[in-house]
Every structure is written in C-alpha cells, then in structure tokens.
Amino acid sequence: MDFSLNDEQKMIIETVRRFIGEELAPLEDALEQAGTLDDVTARAIHCKAKALGLYAMNMPEALGGGGLSNLDRILCEEQFGHTSDMLIRRAFGNVYEPLLHCQGSQVERWLKPSIAGTRTGAICITEPGAGSDAAGIKTNARKNDKGWLLNGSKHFISDGEWSDFFLVSAKTGEKEISMFMVDKGLAGFTLGKDQKMMGLRGTPHLELFFDNVQLDEAALLGAQGQGFKLAMGALNVVRLAQVGARSVGKATHVCELMMDWAAERKQFDTRIGDFQMVQQMLADSVIEISAARWMVYQAAWMLDQGLEAREQIAMVKVHAAETLGRVVDRAVQVFGGMGFCKELPIERYYRDARIYRIFDGTSEIHRGVIAKSALKKGAALFDIHR
C-alpha cells in the first residue's frame, strides 16, 4: 500500500494552489461584498486558467479536457475548497460527467463546447415538491412529431444565470424518467428569480419554468427512461469531488487559520492555544480532517480501479460534510467575537459550510443508503478483510 503522491500529482496540486492564491483569493472579498462577479473578471480568470490547461480537468484528454484520473481530480478539488465556489466555477469550469453520455450530434452541440468553455451547463433535478425524492418530480416530457414537449419547473439550480443549457430530469412515462439537454432561449423556457441563500454569495440559484418547450430529438441524453439512471450514476463522482474533496479542502483551510490564531492570540498572558480546551478543538479538527481525506482518496482510488464505490461515496459525503461543519463551528469558537464578526472571513466559511450537509443528497439520505447496505452486507461493507 503506497500512500505517497508522485511528482506529477505534486506538480498539479502546486499549480492549482498557486493559481488560487494568486488569481482567485484576491477576488473573494469583493465577490462577497457585491454578491456577484462581473463578466470581465469572470472571462479573465477563465482565460488564465484555460491557458494553463486547468479548465475541465475532469474531462477526457481526447475531447480537449485535462484527462485526470479520479484520484488526481480529487487532489485538485481539495485545493478548490480553498476559495469561493463561484470563482472555481468560472476559472476551472464545472463540466458535469453525465454529459459524457452524449452521442452523435450531441457531442459537437453540448459536450465539446462545454469542455472548451464556450458553453456552460447546469444540472436540474430538484423541484419545489421533489428534493430528496428525486424520482418524485412532476416535470414531464411528451413525445411528439418534432421531438419532445417539456412542461414543469425546477428550483435551486446552481449557476443558472451563467448557463447556456440545462440538463433537466423529466418524466417520460408513469414510472420512467429521462434527461434532456435544454438550451436557454427556447420558446416557453423562462428563468425565474435568484433564490437568495445563507452562503455561497455570488453563485446564482435559479427557478426554471418550462411551458410547452419544444425540444428536438437530439435533446434526449441516453436512451429514453435510462438518462436519469445514467446521470445519477455519473453524479456519484461529482458528489465525491465537489462535496467530499471540497469539504476536506475547506476544512483544511479553516483549520489552518484556526491554528494560526490559537498560536498568536493571547489572553491571561497566555497563548489561547496553550489552553487545553482550545487544544481539544484543534486536535479533534486535525483528526477528523485526516480521516475524511483518506476516505475521499480511497473512494477515488476505487473508482479508478473500476470498483463500485456507491456506499463508500455515501460514507464520504456524510463524514466529510459533517467534519467541515464541526471544524468551522470550532473555528468560530476559537476566534471568539472575531469569528462572528464580518471583518474576518470565518463567519463566511461558517455560512458557506452549512449547505454541504444538504445538497447532493442530505446526510439523512446517505445514512439511509449506508444502513440499508449494512443490513444486507454486514461487516463486509466496511471490513476490507471479509
């Protein structure tokens, strides 16, 4: 068992880390204040990242992407946790894996432009009446002579405003769900309001409305009734990367600030880091982050070996997101009043962290997956010696 990183991996991490430090971190405060990123800045960071080969790193090299393995991608995603979600989206892209199921004309129309960064896509599953129960959607698509007629609505769609097309789940039968690629600007397709959130300032989260939107035949991703399954499978890796690895990166970032503060701040003529109760908060954070990190790496390694990692990723989702929650909470405590004050970013990290336990499947939903599997498989689920 070799836990070391090779030179190439170290170089990718270093390049991403430097780019975030030099190009993105200086933009964070202004983004937080304004709540939006202007087009010129977005374009500039996109072009710089692309020139360094850092755009769409998760996509195959043959299609113009970075061709990273799952493990290498996770190493980058961990670094992405060190800055704002919105800056990561614009600089490095957010090309969703389900698009790899594009075929024929779909490749030139949606997949390749996404990898090139000339088109941006959002993933649209959640509806006001269907969140955790993703199969309980009402949005539907009926076959007609021109293709498909789409009706319904979605909400909470991340990056909606910046997206040129939308990967939409819709019922195509009583118990059948398919995925469609829906271009912005189609008649009957309207963007609703930006739903303001507790955190993730700068990333828009939109309502979408479909009123008899005519889609052509090519809009269907995968086979009828299969697209949803394909998308959910592909989203496993998104969950591991954008929640698991990013949670580890975010927790690491905050923990480092917390340690520096504990080492410098004095009360009672003593560094607060010398008080045992503060030390416990630091130690628990370091232990939990380390455990979460190796869980993320192991799951990524499993994917690279072609192994089924659904349960492992469910465990990662719960543990990494909840570790992040505990670490940011401790950071506010260790920073005291300054942890709550907007003069430092700690309160922002606290707000931004809360969603990680909710999106991409809540902790409860993933615990359900793990428990069901445990009842079926017993110790074989978590004991590698069985």
Q: Which residues bind ligand FAD (CB under 6 A)?
A: 122-126, 131-132, 156-158, 197, 200, 205, 355, 358-359, 362, 364-365, 368
Angle of CA points 309, 312, 315, to nearest 5°: 150
Determine the Cα–Cα distance for residues 194 and 42; give it in Å rounded to an integer.
19
- In the bound complex, what is the minimum distance in angstroms from residue 261's beta carbon to ligand FAD? 28
Looking at the Cβ atoms of 112 and 154, the one nearer to ligand FAD is: 154
Looking at the Cβ atoms of 198 and 287, the one nearer to ligand FAD is: 198
221 in Cβ contact with 182 (< 8 Å) = no
> Quick one: CA dihedral 292, 296, 302, 306, positive or negative?
positive
Residue 298 exposed, middle or buried by CB count within 10 Å (0-12, 13-18, 19+): middle
- In the bound complex, what is the minimum distance in angstroms from residue 283's beta carbon to ligand FAD? 30
Looking at the Cβ atoms of 26 and 128, the one nearer to ligand FAD is: 128
Three-class DSSP category at 109: helix
- In the bound complex, what is the minimum distance in angstroms from residue 153's beta carbon to ligand FAD? 12
Q: Distance from CA of residue 128 to its chain's centroid?
A: 21
310 in Cβ contact with 369 (< 8 Å) = yes
Looking at the Cβ atoms of 260 and 364, the one nearer to ligand FAD is: 364
Determine the Cα–Cα distance for residues 158 and 3; give it in Å rounded to an integer.
35
Determine the Cα–Cα distance for residues 163 and 165; give it in Å rounded to an integer.
6
Read out DSSP for 278-346?
HHHHHHHHHHHHHHHHHHHHHHHHHHHTT---HHHHHHHHHHHHHHHHHHHHHHHHHHTHHHHSTTSTH
State the residue number with the nearest CB to ligand FAD.
Answer: 131
Looking at the Cβ atoms of 79 and 158, the one nearer to ligand FAD is: 158
Looking at the Cβ atoms of 211 and 364, the one nearer to ligand FAD is: 364
Looking at the Cβ atoms of 148 and 356, the one nearer to ligand FAD is: 356
- In the bound complex, what is the minimum distance in angstroms from residue 132's beta carbon to ligand FAD? 3
Determine the Cα–Cα distance for residues 200 and 211; give it in Å rounded to an integer.
30
